[in-house]
Structure 1
Amino acid sequence: MGAMNRDLTRRCAAALLSLFALPWAHGQQFTATTDPARAQVKLPDPARADLPTLFLIGDSTVRNGHDDGQGKGAEGQWGWGNPIAAYLDAGKVNLVNRAVGGLSSRTYRTSGHWDRTKALIKRGDWVVMQFGHNDASPVNDNSRARGVLRGTGPETEDIDNQLTGKRETVLTYGAYLRGYVAEIRALGATPVICSPVIRKRWEADGLKVVRAGGNFAQWAAEVARQEGVAFIDLNEWGARRYEALGAAQVEKFFPADLPQETVHTNWLGAAINAQLVIAGLIQNRVLPESFYRQRFLPDGSDDRPVVDARQVKVEAPRDPALPSLVMIGDSTVRSGGQNGAWGWGERIAAFFDTTRINIVNNAIGGRSSRTFFTEGRWAAVLAQLKAGDLLLIQFGHNDGARIGDPAGKNRGSVPGIGAETVEDTRPDGSKEQVHSYGWYLSRYIQDAQAKGAKVVVLSPVPHKDRWQADQPRDFDNYAAWGAQVARAQGAAFIDLTLRVAEAYREVGAARVDSFFADARTHTNEAGAIFNATQVVQGLKGLPDQPVASFLKPPSL
């Protein structure tokens, strides 16, 4: 009787395994016992069939385990495919992370994951692939049998797979990538190739990072170039980021309980890699501009990479003997033409007689009232201010970033105008006491007034979709805080949010739509001129009319 029960148990187990066996591309059957790469987690499908989808395929550096940080929160192991969601508008594009830990460019295909993912891809979608970390493994063993042939050529090797017991033809790394590219294109979708994310491995000097071993990064770039595919060099970009930050800070990007870990990042490290992917998508113009968003900015500002302030020269007055109109702020004041965007500060000079006044625009994209101060930008601007100058201040678009969230890039200020502070950790590990929005405005005003300059605080320009009369007012809090600080410090205030919104209502939605270079934040040439007009009108309406004697006479 016991023997019969054991036999029945074996037959039931075999039947259950056959129910869950996964088909291989060539018809082979796998089980969880013989194929460790078989899906042990449920991979997501597109949330909305009516939207285009950005698919991610790859290994654990894209999607680690159950994509839950192993229940350890931010200190667990995360792939970049999780935090990247913060940068995309879920109302316009599905993000579907179908990467699986432990796979190579070969086994993602042979274990059936690619066939199941491919069945979801439709015309107009995108597929971002990142393989390489597991591709250097043995080609044939009884553990994972996931290695590929080195290079990008047509070489093949026939093996009797020790893991599956089946005959298999193994290709080169480049051949597997080309296969994905061809099939994605055949489906009417767009492929994107990434090199493997950088490992935490330092040269002997402790200053340089070791790039991808075995030239997988080079081979990925070669295939992308040959196939005319967008390429994101996560390996090189990540290495440069690590080198700039230094080993001590990079250590914080990996799980603290796994000091020997060199590949799998914690959430902070994954967020940094996600930022590199987003930067690559933007640089290659893969997705429509309107698909990008920022989870950590409640007002929905764009996700363009933050410009390195050290690369943007502080603008000096053309003629130091003349008074200057000096502007500080963010990219809505100065965008530099990036992706067709211009700030109002770049078109305001046309209203002034520049033989009698300097127009000095020292706004810089991506800055908040906090970072313009902490990065030393304000100190450089203040050094040039003198008695008789006029300082215009407009921040707010980036001040809403959540303090403590790495994706916020240390830009958020404490809401309000009080003296309270919140501690934040900088990328170098140092601690910063973050002040309120009003505190930073007050500091700018006091410093400028001490030099004998006049100050005007402006509330932020409104977004493309937040000016209609039936909608809640845009930047309501920042306008109120700006007005309170200006009044308390004896500075002037212009409610530019309201002024521009009212002007938008006068010209109507069709014309307003034509004013923007992106989905909702940055104006084009026409929009910059339109908003500059509102700034000048606001200045002319101030009680002491500080610019009246410097304006050009109206055209006849």
Structure 2
Amino acid sequence: MNALTTRRAAALLLALSLLPAHAQEFTATTDPARAQITLPEPAKPDLPSLILIGDSTVRNGRDDGQGKGAEGQWGWGNPIAAYFDLNKINVVNRAVGGLSSRTYRSSGHWDRTKPFIKKGDWVVMQFGHNDTSPVNDNSRARGVLRGTGPEKEDINNLLTGKPETVYTYGAYLRGYIAEIRAAGATPVVCSPVIRKRWEADGVKVTRAGGNFAAWAAEVAKQENVAFIDLNEWGALRYEALGKEAVEKFFPADMPQETVHTNWLGAAINAQLVIAGLIQNKVLPDAVYTRRFASDGSDERPVVDARKVKVEAPRDPKLPSLVLIGDSTVRSGGQNGAYGWGERLAAFFDTQRINIVNNAIGGRSSRTFFTEGRWASVLEQLKPGDTLLIQFGHNDGARIGDPAGKNRGSVPGVGPEAVEDTRPDGTKEMVQSFGWYLARYINDAKAKGANAVVLSPIPHKDRWKPEQPRDFENYAAWGEQVARANGAQFIDLTMLITDAYRKVGAERVESFFSDARTHTNDAGAVFNATQVVEGLKRLPGQPLQGFLRPAAP
């Protein structure tokens, strides 16, 4: 038996020795180590699973932001699910707030999680924030012995009233690693996420005290498992963004909070975890929703608007149907993707009307305006033209998050504005999604053109009857702005959703060129058909006279 095998065997024996001698009696209490907490299970047990264990920085409370929306407290285990194709992998966040590497096990939460771990799964663990607590008290009794060695301490637990042997932080991590491997799964170790604590200069971030990050790295190296340094990587990210920007990552109503992030902060940490998984080649590429760069950001380039000419009407004397939007309206065949706007002309008599598709990939309602593309489109609009507006897919990017590529708009339709910093250091006041839509509508009306707002096309995994409707907020905001500003509205999300439900999953699967967003040629034709159906249903049928007698 070689040294590595001996060490793993010893770790497994240690893990077994850590198991409680008998089932624990759970009581209704605010202590999460003793409470019976309902945790998610794999949605599709036949698929491989990415299982997360840890504390509140991974899963906070009931994982609902305490009812405060994006400004509540969130762990990174929630936003990370958006990076994965949930038709190929389960993302199961079984972290519990308030627990340590010790009490996640001693409470019985680990025993309830293990049955869901099977061969071919991956388990990501992140502990440390609560491990610094006292080893023995009558409040939480969740602390561990410092270090990674074999030291142990026998105590009479003041909280439970029972004898317990407490081990080192490293010993608990090795115990999880051994049992995960025994189940045929792959373990991954994360250091604790960085705290929002600045040095006196206000420029450098204080790394984790107590060496828990270093100990996590040491155990990962000893056990030859992937390690993700959320402590160091998070500190570097915070330092690059600066103190003012980092404040936006934490709940606004809790200025003294240094650990628990809001949704934006959780999304930043999730991106770092993704970067670690990619760099360590932990998961196959096929389980991700799209390709990501090694820093966890979207690898797809945002099309350079300067290199894409603004399309002009073929015959300026004819009325034009002008389209503005993102890559779901025009993808240009990149990686086999086409938007519905590229297949719309076949439905119209182009000897009587121009079809002018000025959508551009990677744009939001905000960037289509701020980059100057709208000004060029507006210059060509004339009385009698019709403008179709479809944004939303990229508007959800987090303001202040570099991975969002300065695309996010403020949620809603109001006058609120948020300052954002561009890559060149200049500041931009970002308006609401509704503000940008209203600008397009009113600018078009001033030129004598009509405007129609369309809600975004649905994702491939968000159309089935048992699922909540896709883009609910953006559809509601789009309709509200259209009605308030004298435009018309088409709920394209639901038109396509209903059509998908009629043709079924097998055919819908054949409509996409990527995991969930971009359609291929067949999908573009199918969605264009629904756009035409929506136009036919508009009051007064303003474009009916331009349609071909027999649509393809």
- Short-chain TM bin: 0.5 to 0.7
- The aligned counterpart of 1:44 is 38
> 2:67 & 2:324 partners in 1: Cα distance?
44
- The aligned counterpart of 1:527 is 523
Give 1:342's match in structure 2, choosing from 310, 326, 337: 337
Alignment deviations for residues 58-87 of structure 1 (CA, whole Å, 9 cap, x no partner) = 234334678798999998866445677899
Structure number with greater Rg is: 1
Q: In the TM superposition, what is the alpha-carbon distance from 1:187 to its structure 2 partner?
A: 1.9
Cα RMSD (Å): 6.7
Give 1:516's match in structure 2, choosing from 512, 519, 527: 512
Change (3 A) 1:267 1:103: same
- The aligned counterpart of 1:97 is 94
Matched, 1:314 2:305: yes
Matching residue's letter, 2:337: W
Q: In the TM superposition, what is the alpha-carbon distance from 1:192 to its structure 2 partner?
A: 4.0
Q: In the TM superposition, what is the alpha-carbon distance from 1:98 to its structure 2 partner?
A: 3.8
What pairs up with 1:106-505 in 2 under 5 angstroms? 108-109=104-105, 113-123=109-119, 126-134=122-130, 145-149=143-147, 156-161=149-154, 170=168, 173=170, 176-213=172-209, 217=213, 220=216, 233-236=229-232, 238-239=234-235, 242-243=238-239, 246-251=242-247, 253-254=249-250, 260-265=256-261, 269-270=265-266, 273=269, 313-317=304-308, 328-333=324-329, 342-344=337-339, 362-364=360-362, 367=364, 369=365, 371-372=366-367, 376-377=370-371, 379-382=372-375, 386-387=379-380, 393-398=388-393, 410=409, 412-414=411-413, 421=414, 423=416, 434=432, 436=434, 440-444=436-440, 447=443, 460-461=456-457, 464=460, 481=479
> 1:87 & 1:480 partners in 2: Cα distance?
26
> 1:359 & 1:73 partners in 2: Cα distance?
36
**Which shows bigger deviation, 421-430 or 175-184?**
421-430
> 1:425 & 1:66 partners in 2: Cα distance?
29
SS in 2 for 1:39: coil
Change (3 A) 1:181 1:516: farther
Matching residue's letter, 2:432: V
Q: In the TM superposition, what is the alpha-carbon distance from 1:199 to its structure 2 partner?
A: 0.7
> 2:55 & 2:469 partners in 1: Cα distance?
45
Matching residue's letter, 1:200: K
Alignment deviations for residues 388-411 of structure 1 (CA, whole Å, 9 cap, x no partner) = 89997542544997999x999655
Q: Is the CA contact 1:25–1:111 (under 8 Å) kept in the aligned structure 2?
A: no
Q: Is the CA contact 1:24–1:112 (under 8 Å) kept in the aligned structure 2?
A: no
SS in 2 for 1:128: strand
Q: Is the CA contact 2:511–2:522 (under 8 Å) kept in the aligned structure 1?
A: yes
Structure 1 unmatched runs, 5+: 1-22, 151-155, 293-304, 415-420, 547-556
Q: Is the CA contact 2:326–2:359 (under 8 Å) kept in the aligned structure 1?
A: no
Q: Is the CA contact 2:381–2:444 (under 8 Å) kept in the aligned structure 1?
A: no
Change (3 A) 1:459 1:126: same
> 1:76 & 1:532 partners in 2: Cα distance?
39
- Calculate the TM-score normalised by the size of structure 2: 0.58
Change (3 A) 1:467 1:517: same
Q: Is the CA contact 2:217–2:229 (under 8 Å) kept in the aligned structure 1?
A: yes
Q: In the TM superposition, what is the alpha-carbon distance from 1:188 to its structure 2 partner?
A: 3.9
Identity of counterpart residues, as a percentage? 54
Change (3 A) 1:94 1:255: closer
> 1:57 & 1:473 partners in 2: Cα distance?
30
SS in 2 for 1:57: strand
Q: Is the CA contact 2:454–2:490 (under 8 Å) kept in the aligned structure 1?
A: yes
Structure 2 unmatched runs, 5+: 1-15, 158-162, 290-295, 316-320, 422-426, 536-541, 548-552
Q: In the TM superposition, what is the alpha-carbon distance from 1:186 to its structure 2 partner?
A: 2.8
Change (3 A) 1:326 1:205: farther
**Number of corresponding residues:** 481
Q: Is the CA contact 2:181–2:187 (under 8 Å) kept in the aligned structure 1?
A: yes
Change (3 A) 1:409 1:167: same
Change (3 A) 1:241 1:387: same
**Which shows bigger deviation, 236-245 or 445-454?**
445-454
